[in-house]
Amino acid sequence: MSFTLNSVGIIHSCYKEKFGIPRQPGLVTEAKATLELLSPYNREEAVRGLEDFSHIWITFIFHGCLTEGWKPTVRPPRLGGNKRVGVFATRSTYRPNPIGLSVVELEKVVIEKGSVVLHLKGADLLDQTPVLDIKPYLPYVDSISNAKGGFAPDAPSSEFEVTFSEQARQVCQQTYSPDLNLAVLINQILSFDPRPAYTADMLGSHNFAMKLLDYDVKWGVEGKNILVTDILKIH
């Protein structure tokens, strides 16, 4: 059987490329995103009652890797990137149907003339991600205290110490607002070490870059220390 699905909404997030996005939601709490409902679903009635839930499930399309196809086995970063497990035993993006599932905090629902926007916290979603569905998180059924977590039994630990160059610190200060603390956002992202697992094992220092909001963020890694060297505005 095949099905045709419509996007009910689109994500606007700080993550402008895949590299740097946390591997699951809730890890980078400073990351704010919005989910804009699309016509004909952008109706006040369609979200009535949703604001009473603190968290929602979002199903979405991994639109950033549609051309990459699926793989029957994948190498999860949590296993060091060198052990294969079945794709259905992972949350990998390389799936037969490129559908993702994330639970995120719902800060507020903003309804204005002709627009319905959900404000989210801690999402692990690429900017422009198409959303297939939204459902409320129900603690009594969705939280299972004795569940087994397979190869990822616990939340990943943030083992890295992140420091900022003078240039990077200044950009963080200049851009600070109640809605954006760039220093905390970058610190949270990098402390979970977004590098692929095989790179993390390599010896010596390495330089990396990611696009975050309107910035190119560059950093170097040496051992367990990360130095954010440059934060450059993208023109």
Q: Is 5 in the site for ligand SAM (CB under 6 A)?
A: no
Judged by CB under 6 A, the stretch of 26-34, 57-65, 204-212, 217-225 that binds ligand SAM is 57-65
Inter-residue contact 181 to 165 (CB < 8 Å): no
Angstrom distance (rounded) from CA 56 to CA 50:
9
Residue 27 DSSP label = S
Kindly state the number of chain residues that form the binding site for ligand SAM, as judged by CB under 6 A: 19
Tell me which of 14, 37, 109, 125 binds ligand SAM, using CB under 6 A.
Answer: 125
Nearest to 235 by CA among 210, 208, 216: 216
Q: Residue 216: CB partners within 8 Å, gap ≥ 6?
A: 209, 210, 230, 231, 232, 234
Nearest to 229 by CA among 207, 214, 205, 213: 207
For ligand SAM, give the closer residue by CB, 122 or 228. Answer: 122
For ligand SAM, give the closer residue by CB, 129 or 187. Answer: 129
Q: Is 122 in the site for ligand SAM (CB under 6 A)?
A: no
Q: Is 9 in the site for ligand SAM (CB under 6 A)?
A: no
Q: Is 126 in the site for ligand SAM (CB under 6 A)?
A: yes
Angstrom distance (rounded) from CA 12 to CA 1:
32
Q: Is 124 in the site for ligand SAM (CB under 6 A)?
A: yes
By CB under 6 A, name the binding residues for ligand SAM. 18, 21, 23-25, 62-65, 91-93, 100-102, 124-126, 129
